[in-house]
Chain A
Amino acid sequence: MLGPDLTLRGAVELIRGGSLEALRLAEYCYGRIEELNDRLKAFITVFTRDENTHSVSEPLLGAPISLKDLFYTKDKPTTAGSRILAGFKPSFNAPVVDALSSSGALIIGKTNMHEFAFGVTNKNPHYGVCRNPWDRERISGGSSGGSAVSVAAGMCLASLGTDTAGSVRIPASLCGVVGYKPTYGMVSAKGVIPLSWTLDHVGFLTRSVEDAALLMRITTSHRPPAEPLEYSIKPAELKGIRIGIPRNYFLEHLQEDVERVFYDVVDILQREGAKVRDITIEAVEQMVRVRYVIVHAEAAAYHKRFIRDRFNEYGEDLKRRLAEGAVIPASTYINAQRLRKKLVGSFRRVFKEVDILLTPTTAVTAPRVDEENVAVGDVVMDIRPALLRLTEPFNVVGAPVLSLPAGLSRERLPVGLQAIADVMDDDTLLSIGMALESVIKPIGNP
Chain B
Amino acid sequence: MLDEETCGLLLRLCCVGPSMVRYLSKRALGRLAEMDSLFLDFLDMEDELRVDAGA
Contact = CB atoms under 8 A, between A and B. Distances in A.
B2 interface: no
B53 interface: no
Interface in A280-333: 283, 286, 289-290, 292-293, 300, 304, 307-308, 311-312, 319-320, 322-324, 326-329, 331-332
A186 B39 CA distance: 29
B43 to A, nearest CB: 6
Interface in A119-137: none
Given A319-B20, A323-B20, A323-B24, A307 B15 contact: yes
Contacts of A327: 14, 16, 24, 29, 32
Interface string B15-55: 11101110110001100100110111011000000000000
A338 interface: yes
Contact of B20 (A283, A307, A329): A307
A320 B23 contact: yes
A324 to B, nearest CB: 5
A312 B23 CA distance: 12
A223 interface: no
A293 B35 contact: yes
A292 B35 contact: yes
Interface residues of B, number: 19
Contacts of B42: 283, 286, 339, 342
A323 B23 contact: yes
A266 interface: no
A304 B12 CA distance: 11
A373 interface: no
A381 interface: no
Nearest to B38: A289
A324 B14 contact: no
A342 B17 contact: no
Contact of B28 (A304, A312, A324, A329): A324
A311 B39 contact: no
Nearest to A332: B36
A318 to B, nearest CB: 10
B17 A311 contact: yes
B54 to A, nearest CB: 18
A331 B39 CA distance: 11
A325 to B, nearest CB: 10
B15 A304 contact: yes
A339 B38 CA distance: 10
Contacts of B35: 289, 292-293, 332, 336
B19 to A, nearest CB: 6
A283 B44 CA distance: 14
A221 interface: no
B17 A329 contact: no
Given A323-B24, A332-B32, A339 B15 contact: no
28 contacts: A283-B42, A289-B38, A289-B39, A290-B39, A292-B35, A293-B39, A300-B15, A304-B15, A307-B17, A320-B23, A322-B20, A322-B23, A323-B16, A323-B21, A323-B24, A324-B24, A324-B28, A326-B14, A326-B20, A327-B24, A327-B32, A328-B32, A329-B36, A332-B36, A332-B39, A335-B36, A336-B35, A342-B42
Given A289-B39, A324-B24, 5 more contacts: A289-B35, A311-B17, A319-B23, A327-B14, A339-B43
Interface of A: 283, 286, 289-290, 292-293, 300, 304, 307-308, 311-312, 319-320, 322-324, 326-329, 331-332, 335-336, 338-339, 342
Query: Which 4 pairs between the two chains have the least Cβ-Cβ distance?
Result: A323-B23, A335-B39, A320-B23, A289-B35
